[in-house]
A and B are shown apart, each in its own frame.
Chain A
Amino acid sequence: MIINGKKKIWSDYQKEIPDDHYFYVRSCIRQNFFPASEKLFLEIVRDRLNLDFYETEHHTTCGGIAYHSDTIPQETVMTIVARQFALMSEAGYKNYVASCITSFGLYTEILDTWYHYPELEAKIKENLWKTTRREFNKPEYLAHASDVVYKLRDKIASQAKYKLVNKDTGKPLKVVEHIGCHYSKMFPSKGVGGAEYPYVLTGMIESWGGEIVDYPERRHCCGFGFRQYMIRANRGYSLSNTYKKFESMEPFHPDMIITNCPGCPYFLDRWQYVIKEMEGKTYGKEGQGIPVFTYEEVAGLVLGYDPWYLGLQMHQIDVEPLLDKIGIKYSKTDKYLL
């Protein structure tokens, strides 16, 4: 692996990311899978780094899952998104940040479609007015929550209590980073580092002391795949993709997996259990499996939050072995008492 070859590619895809005054929109499903992530994101940016992140309870789903599962047409989903932008303009913000990758991909796609077909934008403007009597204007800058954390990674590192380093061997932890496909595969220029070697999570890992693992199936789908897992008949197909990824990363013996999307951590985490049940195969050391985190959870760990406060007990794969590796203190007894 020639590192500066990668650095050269990353340099082609740097995008400037404002670090303040954002209108924050939550994901519909991330809170059920990883409860603390979004709350932690707001806590870090607002309390720790006292930045202005506004959030309103009136915003809805972005309609992404319905759109990708072909249950609603594009114009309907555009109108929903237009309403979100309307809430943003009403709140007086210009930078829009989405917590979910699918939303980020959807917003980028819609903005790009409007760019090429302004007449469609005008039609949606009219739809929104007819249905909600609201008007909207497009955000000046669209970011994903991981872009923001990437931008603030060094600030977080400066306040960090722990490092992604194995406290016994002193070697950096081997971390697999998995980027949600809708982050940069559809619009490479919109992702930090492009589509082939996105740098948004790598940047965080490196600044927090870890070392990334580059395995052959790193860009393969995590197995979420929308309409695959919904229908039981297809669910095996979704599972097989995750299986292929784990088979490919196994020889590298990664310590943990970090993702920036709602579905990937959930499936990479849950399918390990199903694979163990169906095939009797596990991938971590001594059958413990590889723990899967969202970047917010890792930021929380590094900053020293109590693991159970971060809701890590909701994970399928136990995180304790990793915590011991990093040396994070936690109480064994009140794992489920908090």
Chain B
Amino acid sequence: MNNFGYSISPSSRIDLDKRDNDKFTRIVLLEPGFRKCMACGLCSSTCSGANFTDVSLRRAIEMIQDGQEKSAIVLLKGCMLCGKCNIICPRGINTRNLIRNILKVYMEELQ
């Protein structure tokens, strides 16, 4: 193909139709609280890892719901599973279980 010194930039728009639904339902089965998240940001602000680097469960949950698993995993790789978010979540979501399962389910295909 010809190169004219510029290229077509791919659309940054998320397409919700292309979300991997069976992985999403598996996560919901493993941690039913997942759907209760109201994105209040308490977990990501109390996060021990977030003191040092970019870890955010709130954004990761939102990304998973939008089918952006790869960027969600990057956000959770730094999690030390210390449980502070578990204590503080106002919706009573088992956040540790959620993080663990997101990493497990979405990392399967990477191995």
Direct contact of A and B (CB under 8 A): yes
CB within 8 Å of B: which residues of A?
Answer: 232-237, 239-240, 243-244, 274-275, 277-280
Contact A240 B4 (CB under 8 A): no
Contact A277 B8 (CB under 8 A): no
Contact A240 B8 (CB under 8 A): yes
In angstroms, Cα B3 to Cα A235, docked, is 13
A-B contact list, 10 entries, CB within 8 Å: A234-B6, A235-B5, A236-B8, A239-B6, A239-B7, A243-B8, A244-B11, A274-B4, A278-B2, A278-B8
Q: How large is the interface on B (under 10, 10 to 19, 20 to 34, 35 or more residues)?
A: 10 to 19
B6 contacts which chain A residues (CB < 8 A)? 232-236, 239
Q: Which one of A232, A236, A277 lies within 8 Å of B9 (CB-CB)?
A: A236
CB within 8 Å of A: which residues of B?
Answer: 1-9, 11
B7 contacts which chain A residues (CB < 8 A)? 236, 239, 278
Interchain residue pairs A-B with the least CB separation, the first 7: A236-B6, A277-B2, A235-B6, A240-B9, A240-B8, A236-B7, A243-B8
Contact B1 A232 (CB under 8 A): no
In angstroms, Cα B3 to Cα A240, docked, is 15
Contact B1 A275 (CB under 8 A): no
Q: Which one of B3, B5, B8, B11 lies within 8 Å of A232 (CB-CB)?
A: B5
Contact A237 B11 (CB under 8 A): no
Given A235-B6, A236-B6, A239-B6, is A277 in contact with B11 using a C-beta cutoff of 8 Å? Answer: no
Closest residue on chain B to residue A243 by CB atoms: B8
Shortest distance between the CB of B13 and any CB in chain A (Å): 9
In angstroms, Cα B6 to Cα A237, docked, is 8
A237 contacts which chain B residues (CB < 8 A)? 9
In angstroms, Cα B11 to Cα A236, docked, is 12
A236 contacts which chain B residues (CB < 8 A)? 6-9
Contact A278 B1 (CB under 8 A): yes
Shortest distance between the CB of B1 and any CB in chain A (Å): 6
